[in-house]
Amino acid sequence: MDSSELSRILNNANANLYPSESQPTLTTMMVPSMLRSPQTLDMSYSNSFNTLGAWHQVNPQYWTKRNVLEWIDFHVEDSKYDANLLSLEYCNMDGTMLCQLGRDAMTGMFGLLFGERLYQSLEVLKAKYTDDLTQNCTLNETYELLNDFLLDFPQGLGLLDTVVVNSVPADKKEADFGYYNEYKTQLTPGSDNGYDSYSESLQSSTAGSFLNPSSPESTMSDSDPEYYPIPTKSFVKQEPVEKKKRGRPPKLSRGSEHFMETKKNKHAPRGTHLWEFIRDILIHPEKNQGLMKWEDRRDGVFKFLKSEAVAQLWGQKKKNSSMTYEKLSRAMRYYYKREILERVDGRRLVYKFGKNSSGWKLEEVGV
């Protein structure tokens, strides 16, 4: 890969990020970098980032490879650095990997001056998010979940086309998301080795399955200005057999004995409630694409676009593969009484945050 290609990729990444003529490209960014603070940058690009997301709104630890590329691109543009001097190999890393680099590694990879600049920028960003780390731990967890959920769908398959509830051999069990991560690793997007065969084996099982072919998302149109097509996959999630399922026992007549054997530990860490989970999805517009959207951001009115997908994401978080929108919505309705949510009459899949909710208001999220 030659340097001009790198430059082209960087520019493409930039163009995708800033599709309008207001792109902060080298030619349009006339403000000298030394005079521009991170705060002013945020203000300059807030409109674009509100819909597309950007590295500077995300903890570097959670940057995708693309975020890293965009961040490097920004500094290339900002410092008028010659991108031809960069090696794309060094740009091909995600945030986790990037954050492990020390100053020496950075300057070694990107040159003394540019590497130092990147190192300093990263340290500032890391420090910024470290301050909020404790408060945002659950939010980050949701963010990671969304990342995993959305980014690993192979192209060409409908979101949650098939959901299979199944038992899993004991040796497959993993604590927390470990199992899911393992599964994810095996099923690399675009690969044809793991996912298909795994999916087929599950789909061919006799376990219960649920599918909502006529859920409201099916009525969505690409013309919806707030709907962004997302990479999708036929999502399969299975759960270990372990403890008794929480909640009212499902009727035996509805599920087979096999289904009853899929009971598992539903233990969920304290501190992550459903409404917080929903809120965290909503305040990550760059990650919730296609799942939910704000109807009225200021009033806290939001809508489920892919209700079953959100329910399954919630089910993942709670390690409950049988979660459905119907159950999730029942839990949501309990929030009315506590005024965490308010009713929005006459509108399907639409809810509104109530006075006892927090963390979603524009001023609270620092926008």
What does the binding site for DNA look like in residue numbers (CB under 7 A)? Answer: 212-216, 243-251, 254-255, 265-270, 273-275, 307, 314, 318, 320, 322-323, 325-331, 333-334, 336, 338, 343, 345-346, 348-350
Say what angle helices 3-17 and 65-79 make with each other, to 10 degrees.
100
Please give the radius of gyration of the chain, using alpha carbons only, rounded to the nearest integer: 22
Our CB check for DNA shows the closer of 184 and 246 to be 246
- Taking the complex as a whole, the smallest distance from the CB of residue 314 to DNA amounts, in Å, to 6
- Taking the complex as a whole, the smallest distance from the CB of residue 149 to DNA amounts, in Å, to 16
Q: Which residues face 294 on adjacent strands?
A: 302
Using CA atoms, how far apart are residues 164 and 188, in angstroms rounded to an integer?
19
Using CA atoms, how far apart are residues 242 and 267, in angstroms rounded to an integer?
11
Our CB check for DNA shows the closer of 107 and 142 to be 142
The sign one gets for the Cα dihedral 97, 99, 104, 106 is: positive
- Taking the complex as a whole, the smallest distance from the CB of residue 21 to DNA amounts, in Å, to 39
Residue 96, C-beta contacts closer than 8 angstroms, at least 6 positions apart:
61, 62
Q: Are strands 292-296 and 301-304 parallel, antiparallel or unpaired?
A: antiparallel
Our CB check for DNA shows the closer of 59 and 232 to be 232
Our CB check for DNA shows the closer of 229 and 249 to be 249
Our CB check for DNA shows the closer of 121 and 320 to be 320
Token pair in block for residue 115: 């590497």
Q: In Å, what is the CA distance from 328 to each residue of 208, 311, 324?
A: 19, 6, 6
Our CB check for DNA shows the closer of 254 and 355 to be 254
Amino acid letter, residue 279: R
- Taking the complex as a whole, the smallest distance from the CB of residue 295 to DNA amounts, in Å, to 12
- Taking the complex as a whole, the smallest distance from the CB of residue 300 to DNA amounts, in Å, to 16
- Taking the complex as a whole, the smallest distance from the CB of residue 207 to DNA amounts, in Å, to 14
Using CA atoms, how far apart are residues 360 and 220, in angstroms rounded to an integer?
25
